[in-house]
Structure 1
Amino acid sequence: MRIERLPARAGRRSGASAYKDLVWAVATADDRSEGVERQATQAFTKIDALLQELGSASDRIITVAVYLADIGRKAELDLAWDRWVPQDSSRWPMRSCVQAGLASGVLIEVVVTAVRDLEEN
């Protein structure tokens, strides 16, 4: 079975990869003039699209790692998070959130691991 890779906007890296029934995806916001909540919403939307392209979905996410430029703004992330995750608590992914040095203007980066149904691919 081959590794599937979707190109990222930046060169020499993938925005998402899949192998067997696992999918990994990473996203940041395109509009870096926005605050944490809007950047998170944009990143989550990109994650959704990447997962869909590789045969998964946000309700199949196992883990989410969130990197914030300023951990003091975590409450803003949580607003977008609450809109994005499924309402059913049995489908909530495990999430970690840490402060990290990110590129200029990037306030949040999101990395996920999800499962996919191989019958659909």
Structure 2
Amino acid sequence: MQTIDRIPSGHAGRSRSCAYANIVYTVATSADTSLDIVGQTHQALAALSASLEGLGSHASRMLSAQVLLADMSSKPVVDEIWARWIGDSPQHWPQRACYGVDLGGKLLIEIIVTAARGTADDA
């Protein structure tokens, strides 16, 4: 039987990341909600990279991403940061969707990802 790997989020009742077999499921936000959308996006992407790598994956192995935004007018800024972060190779681009949602408090962005395990070299 395959085991499920879990990385705690620090919040009761939920994990930041889980992996089963060769699939990783993770979510990322900014730790500093006093930042603007640019700062929160950079922090969320750094947290996402760390979570993927922590479970044996990489950004280039993402299959699907959902970006939740507190303000959809910030989407062009987020898109620009995302494009620089993910890189120029279409072989590394996941399916991605953006949604405008009420994230509560001062949180401006949350990113939910499904990825295959493996390194950047496996992409």
TM-score (norm 2): 0.91
Partner residue, 2:116? 115
Q: Please show how residues 1-121 of structure 1 align to structure 2 within 5 Å.
A: 1-117=2-118
Gaps of 5+ in 1: none
Query: 1:83, CA displacement in angstroms?
Result: 1.8
Query: 1:103, CA displacement in angstroms?
Result: 2.1
Separation of aligned partners in 1, 2:56 and 2:104: 30
Partner AA of 1:65 in structure 2 = Q
Query: 1:34, CA displacement in angstroms?
Result: 1.0
Q: Secondary structure at the match of 2:3?
A: coil
Q: Deviations over 1:53-104 (max 9, x none)?
A: 1000000000100000011111121122022102111221111001011020
Query: 1:11, CA displacement in angstroms?
Result: 1.9
Q: Aligned Cα RMSD in Å?
A: 0.9
Runs of at least 4 residues off by over 3 Å: none
Q: Deviations over 1:18-44 (max 9, x none)?
A: 000000000110111111121111111
TM-score (norm 1): 0.92
Give aligned-pair identity as a percent. 37
Partner AA of 1:10 in structure 2 = H
Gaps of 5+ in 2: 119-123
Partner AA of 2:87 in structure 1 = P
Separation of aligned partners in 2, 1:89 and 1:23: 20
Separation of aligned partners in 1, 2:65 and 2:12: 24
- Asked whether the equivalents of residues 59 and 92 of structure 2 are also in contact (C-alpha less than 8 Å), the reply is no
Query: 1:7, CA displacement in angstroms?
Result: 0.2
